[in-house]
A = this chain, B = another copy of it.
Amino acid sequence: MIAGIPPNLEYRRGVLRILDQTRLPWEETHVEARDAEAVAAAIGRLAVRGAPAIGIAAGYGLCVALADLLARDPEAGLTAAREALADARARLGAARPTAVNLPAALTRLERAESAFCRTAAKATAGDLLDRLEAEAAALHRDERQVCEDIAAAGLSLLPEAATLVTHCNAGPLATGGIGTALGVILRGHERGRRFTVYAGETRPLLQGARLTAWELGKAGVPVRLMPDGAGPGLILAGKVDAVIVGADRVAANGDTANKLGTLPLALAAARAGTPFYVAAPWTSFDPSAPDGAAVPIEERGAEEVTHLAGRATAAPGAAVYNPAFDVTPGDLVTAFLTERGVLRPPYAFGRDAECDPA
């Protein structure tokens, strides 16, 4: 935890309490999701966002779904429970397409469910709920530790004093712990590193302006907000020691889908010889995608671009192209910062053994 930054997700039996990130930094309001549909809706409209946080929310979402069934039908058996869980997995899995953490979390809980049902023949649906709650909490705990390990990996590479560029939000709000890219910065700052951060505002939904500037401000890290177009010029001018961003999905060859606006920073960093680091938990790596072309890129609605808080920001009737992510070619990534350590090219994440740090 980072002092001053409230938790993004809190689960107690049957209820997932979600800090509504669409209202930050102006209001700290919460959504109390009591069925899978409500959790999926919160993910879909970005009330909870960030690849690791989406995975954690989906894990708790399955618990919410089963608790919901038991509230409606306390006599429900294991068969009904597993049907409800399958239905919830379908709903939650369709909430957003790009981050692989979402299906990974659902698969983790599905495996726990299957193993439990194989071994505990006389178990009740309530017993299964206990088991799934434990697994979702373990997932959350694991993600917390992953953030710490990623921070350690990142801090091993960064100098004592550094000017850093980041994009979107890969902080506590986006994860279950201190963050991935921002976790490196926050832990480093706490330990006396002298980091200055330039954060892209992150159009269209302004996660950088609203969330990253807010989180870094609360933690006392010097931060300057900038339009997304400003990062590349800053990098080419030699004013940046490293770029550090998160990831929504990393393909087997290192191609990295992350928030729209990441690729321009990578292109500039490559030209300038500035290190470009991607901080990502191992759950964001998808060996089944050979390269970036295999990663589904979510296209979002036009109104995100044409309106802000209900006010028109564009010419009336303008057609819009609004992809949520871009794909940074793996050859532009200097290193991945993961809980398994620092991974350097050549990248071949499809063959696990070759990627582990020596």
* Chain B contacts for A26, CB-based, 8 A: 312
Query: B25 near A201 (CB under 8 angstroms)?
Result: no
Known: A264-B264, A267-B267, A313-B308. A203 touches B227 (CB 8 A): yes
B267 and A213 contact, CB distance less than 8 A:
no
Copies of this protein in the assembly total 2
Assess the A321–B228 pair: CB atoms within 8 A: no
Determine if A115 is an interface residue (Cβ-Cβ < 8 Å): no
Is A316's beta carbon under 8 Å from chain B? yes
Interface centre among A206, A222, A267 (most CB of B within 10 A): A267
Task: Indicate if A179 sits at the interface (CB-CB under 8 A).
Answer: no
Q: Does A323 contact B (CB under 8 A)?
A: yes
Check if A25 sits within 8 Å of B217, measured CB to CB. no
A261 to chain B, nearest CB (A): 3
Q: Does A263 contact B (CB under 8 A)?
A: yes
Question: Closest CB of chain B to A144's CB: distance in Å?
Answer: 24
CB contact between A228 and one of B214, B229, B262, B317 (< 8 Å): that residue:
B229
The stretch that binds B, out of A39-47, A183-191, A231-239, A280-288, is A231-239
Q: Is the interface of A mostly helix, strand, loop or mixed?
A: mixed
Interface residues of A in 288-331 (CB under 8 A from B): 305-306, 308-309, 311-323, 326-327, 329
- Complex CA gap A233/B324 in Å reads 11
B contact residues around A261 at 8 Å (CB): 227-229
A43 to B70, CA, bound (A): 67
Do A232 and B311 contact each other (CB < 8 Å), given the known contacts A217-B317, A305-B227, A320-B224? Answer: no
Q: Which residue of B lies closest to A198 (CB)?
A: B321
B322, A230: Cβ atoms closer than 8 Å: yes
Q: Which chain B positions have C-beta within 8 A of A230?
A: 260, 321-323, 326
Chain B residues, CB < 8 A from A271: 267
Distance in angstroms from A250 CB to nearest chain B CB is 16
Chain A residues 240 to 289 lying within 8 A of chain B, measured CB to CB, are 259-264, 267-268, 271
Cα A61 to Cα B178 with chains together (Å):
56
Contact A323 B260 (CB under 8 A): no
A62 at the interface (CB under 8 A from B): no
Q: Which residues from chain B contact A198 at a C-beta distance below 8 Å?
A: 321
Closest-by-CB residue of B relative to A325 is B233
Is A67 in contact with chain B by the CB < 8 A criterion? no
Chain A residues 1 to 58 lying within 8 A of chain B, measured CB to CB, are 25-26
Shortest Cβ distance from residue A233 to the other chain B in the assembled complex, whole angstroms: 4
Asked whether A225 and B320 contact (CB < 8 A) given A201-B203, A217-B315, the answer is yes
Closest 9 CB pairs of A and B: A229-B261, A264-B264, A209-B314, A233-B326, A214-B315, A267-B267, A213-B315, A213-B318, A203-B227
Would you give 22 A-B contacts (Cβ < 8 Å), ordered by A?
A: A25-B315, A201-B203, A201-B305, A203-B228, A206-B313, A209-B305, A209-B315, A210-B315, A211-B315, A214-B315, A214-B318, A217-B315, A222-B319, A225-B305, A225-B318, A229-B264, A230-B323, A232-B264, A233-B260, A236-B329, A267-B267, A267-B271
